[in-house]
């Protein structure tokens, strides 16, 4: 099951710079996308979402971009902070499942160094 | 901020034994879920539950698995006869509104199940 792919298992960024995390999907039925952050020994924490009617959603330092034609989304974190170091999961939901079935990518470990 | 709580944090069991993983969802949430993550793998959907019945389940959720809301606060996942491949982190989640469009899932910290 490779419906949601995060091809970069890790990303290392200097504090203050931009972090860009990428995600691709294959299922054209997906119409809602979310990013979750996960620290060790904790569950995933919701970060930001976007529906397919938009191409951008911004919340503070976090912006998610959606390119439907390319079936690609990205999460931008500006400026990056050491506390942002975590695993970031991209997740997607489709129209046929209205009750919270999310399809996750494998995650990208972000490390922000001072 | 209210949170989803899961107990125990770590459960070790022998193959063939039954285990029950417990969760207390956020109090005003109506939709409940179990997900799992095998080490190094993706977080995978197991089951969703609403109004005291299963709404949707994945192919992973076979007859060995069951869920229950025995009272007004707990939500449990039972594995009847555990197998080695059931070893994983199990996450409980809940949300308030119908579907993730309106409210994202809130996850607990997980129960690490180790089957020996």
Chain B contacts of A104, Cβ < 8 Å?
Answer: 42-44
Ordered DSSP codes for chain B: ----EEE-SEEEE-TT--EEEEEE--TT--EEEEEEE-TTS-EEEEEEEETTEEEEE-TT--TTEEEE--SSS-EEEEESS--GGG-EEEEEEEESSSSTTTS--EE---EEEEE-
B104 in Cβ contact with A49 (< 8 Å): yes
Asked whether the beta carbons of residue A98 and residue B101 sit closer than 8 angstroms, the reply is yes
| pLDDT at position A97 | 65
Q: What would the pLDDT profile of A18-64 be if each residue is shown by its tens digit? A: 999 999 999 998 989 999 999 998 999 999 999 999 999 999 999 99
Tens of pLDDT along chain B (116 residues)? 779 999 999 999 999 999 999 999 999 898 999 999 999 899 999 999 998 999 999 999 999 999 999 888 899 999 999 999 999 999 999 988 765 566 789 999 999 999 99
The residue of A37, A100, A101 whose CB has the most chain B CBs within 10 angstroms, and thus the best one to mutate to test that interface, is: A100
Residue in the structure block whose two tokens are 């698995």: B65
Q: What is the mean pLDDT of residues A7-15?
A: 97
3-state secondary structure of A68: coil
Spatial CA neighbour of A35 closest among A19, A20, A47: A47
A93 near B CB under 8 A:
yes
Tell me the nearest-neighbour CA distance from A38 into chain B, angstroms: 10
What are A16's strand-pairing partners?
none
B56 near A CB under 8 A:
yes
In terms of pLDDT, which residue wins out, B1 or A110?
A: A110
| pLDDT at position A56 | 97
| pLDDT at position A98 | 59
Tell me the nearest-neighbour CA distance from B97 into chain A, angstroms: 9
In terms of pLDDT, which residue wins out, B55 or A17?
A: A17
What are A45's strand-pairing partners?
A37
| pLDDT at position B99 | 59
| pLDDT at position A89 | 97
Confidence of residue A65 (pLDDT cuts 50, 70, 90): very high
Q: What would the pLDDT profile of A72-109 be if each residue is shown by its tens digit? A: 999 999 999 999 999 999 999 986 665 578 999 999 99
């Amino acid at each position: 099951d490779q419906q949601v792919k995060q091809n970069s298992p890790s990303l290392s960024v200097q504090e203050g710079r931009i972090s860009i995390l990428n995600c691709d999907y294959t299922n054209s039925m997906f119409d809602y996308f979310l990013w979750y952050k996960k620290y060790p020994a904790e569950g995933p924490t919701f970060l930001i979402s976007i529906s397919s009617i938009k191409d951008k959603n911004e919340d503070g330092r976090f912006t998610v971009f959606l390119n439907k034609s390319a079936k690609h989304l990205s999460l931008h974190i500006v400026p990056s902070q050491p506390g942002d170091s975590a695993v970031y999961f991209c997740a997607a939901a489709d129209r046929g499942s209205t009750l919270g079935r999310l399809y996750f990518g494998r995650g990208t470990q972000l490390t922000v160094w001072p | 901020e209210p949170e989803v709580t899961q107990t125990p944090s770590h459960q070790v069991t022998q193959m063939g034994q039954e285990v029950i993983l417990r969760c207390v969802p956020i109090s005003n949430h109506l939709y409940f879920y179990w997900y799992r993550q095998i080490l190094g793998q993706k977080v995978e959907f197991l089951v969703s539950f609403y109004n005291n019945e299963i709404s949707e389940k994945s192919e992973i959720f076979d007859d060995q698995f069951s869920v229950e809301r025995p009272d007004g606060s707990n939500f449990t996942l039972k594995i009847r006869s555990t197998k080695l491949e059931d070893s994983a982190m199990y996450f409980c989640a809940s949300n308030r509104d119908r579907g993730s469009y309106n409210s994202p899932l809130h996850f607990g910290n997980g129960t690490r199940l180790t089957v020996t």
